[in-house]
Amino acid sequence: MAVPLRRLHHVSLHVSNGRKLAYDLVSKYKFNLFATRLTDRSRQVAFRNGAAVFVVNERPIQGSAGLNEWLQLGGNDKHSADARRVNFEKHKRSNPSCLYDVHLHHPVDSVSNVCFEVEDVERSFKVLRHLGCNFLVPPTTVEDENGLVTYSVVKSIVGNVCHTLIDKTKYGGTFLPGFNVTEKDWSLEKENLSCPVTHFDHITYASPRKSTQQVMRWYEKLFGFQRFFIDSDEDVDEGFVVNQEGVGLRLTAMQYWKCSKAGITLPFTDKKEPDCKFVIAESLPQQGRNQVDTFLEQHRAAGIQHVALYTKNIVSAAHTMAKAGVHFFSPPPAYYTEVGKRREIEEAGHDPQMLSEHGILLDTDLQQDPSSQSECSENRRYLLQVFTKPLFAEDTFFLELIERRGATGFGEGNIRALWRSVQAYMENERRDSQGETVQSAQQ
């Protein structure tokens, strides 16, 4: 029997310069810093927008230099700075360098842990170990005045990806014991209203060639994930394949359902609610290099390539982020003027000009609602999506904003347009770096 997951709790990142990423997440991507754990051996800082929570872990540091800079991040009032300082001093004397996670010493910045809530960590540990799972941290309990939390960390079979399994049923605090929560109610901030992210929609892995089936089987066996068909004619074994015009990708999606505590929900109201989906992106050899190959090379392992943030208003969210300095990939301008796409955008009630400003792509589900006879716009299911440029120094991890209007896929129709803009970006970067080399050679 697989271990049922209650819900996704947070996604954690391991970086060398936590301060820079913290600054970007807050000022550009409009996340709110809401909890910190600062010790003399590491810094862990949590950010949220809606139910989407990132924990940034800075790789172990020497001494406590830079503390003052961190203290300024969570609000400048004296009270919260003092509280954080006390917390810092308290935790300096105790605790592992990376609570609820492990430092795997990956050579480049990486998003490497997807933390799930489970019902019973001890039992999950036994079940998963019996199924052959590798644990990096055995069940461990951490407590503070708000109660206790038990967790363990399991290694996945995808590159450096791990999963922390956590039981919060005996915890009444806002985040996790060991973290100092800043008090401010961020949900009322103006910027939150103009950048309305509600939750993680999906997480996409970049996975080596021919690895998809093995990854699927692992998640099926251990956590009861099930196949989610991206497209109605998708082949069970092949997944959704794009293999033409310079793009060779295989996408295969999996889903699991949030499970609530047994006995609380009545059977007739116990509707299965899907949580964040997982997509495995594998590159196919025939069409030359692509974004997945670039990821695997620069990240130096398989791993999390992008995380999609669900928003109810992508135009507003993209506009707010762009104004704050986020760069998005833009498809070739022809995307918005081509007659078919233009009509598709207008029929969905959007303005092609407005979408083109930030590179927002629209993809309509080809399958219409079976209850409708006509193809009129109200019955069309579509999604809007936009991709940011990579967040780290390497061309690896990026974010996606996604607004769904009934469509359940991942923008398969846009992959070619997206890929053309990525290629243009990479060529530009190459030209720039060659330019720099020429310049420095001339100096």
Ligand X SMILES: O=C(O)C(=O)Cc1ccc(O)cc1
- N-term to C-term CA, the chain: 66
Instruction: Choose from Fe ion, ligand X, none: what does 364 bind? Cβ within 5-8 Å by kind.
Output: none
Q: What residues form DSSP beta bridges with 164?
A: 153
Longest dimension (CA), the chain: 75
400 binding Fe ion? (CB under 5 A): yes
Measured CA to CA, the distance from residue 18 to residue 348 in angstroms comes to 41
Site string for ligand X, 286-315 (x = CB under 6 A): -----xx-----------------------
Kindly state the tokens that stand for 185: 């109610």
In three-state secondary structure terms, 137 is strand
Please indicate if the annotation marks 400 as binding a ligand. yes
Question: Contact region for ligand X (CB under 6 A) — 135-143, 175-183, 256-264, 411-419?
Answer: 411-419
The residue from 114, 203, 304, 308 that contacts Fe ion (CB under 5 A) is 308
Residue with tokens 């901030």: 189
Size of the residue set binding ligand X (CB under 6 A): 13
Residues 235-274 interacting with ligand X (rule: CB under 6 A): 249, 251
Residues 156-215 interacting with ligand X (rule: CB under 6 A): 202, 204
Question: Which whole-number Å values give the CA distances from 211 to 30, 86, 159, 217, 259, in the listed order?
Answer: 35, 48, 11, 10, 28
The residue from 18, 139, 359, 411 that contacts ligand X (CB under 6 A) is 411
386 binding ligand X? (CB under 6 A): no
Kindly report the CA angle at 85 between 21 and 102, in degrees rounded to 5?
50
Residues 183-212 interacting with Fe ion (rule: CB under 5 A): 204
Evaluated on CA atoms 365, 366, 372, 375, the torsion sign reads: positive
Is the separation of the CB atoms in 156 and 131 below 8 Å? no
Least Å from the CB of residue 132 to Fe ion: 30
Residue with tokens 């996790």: 176
399 binding Fe ion? (CB under 5 A): no
Q: Which residues contact ligand X (rule: CB under 6 A)?
A: 202, 204, 249, 251, 279, 281, 291-292, 400, 410-411, 415, 418
Known binding site for Fe cation: residues? 202, 306, 400
Q: Which residues contact Fe ion (rule: CB under 5 A)?
A: 204, 308, 400, 410
Known binding site: residues? 202, 306, 400
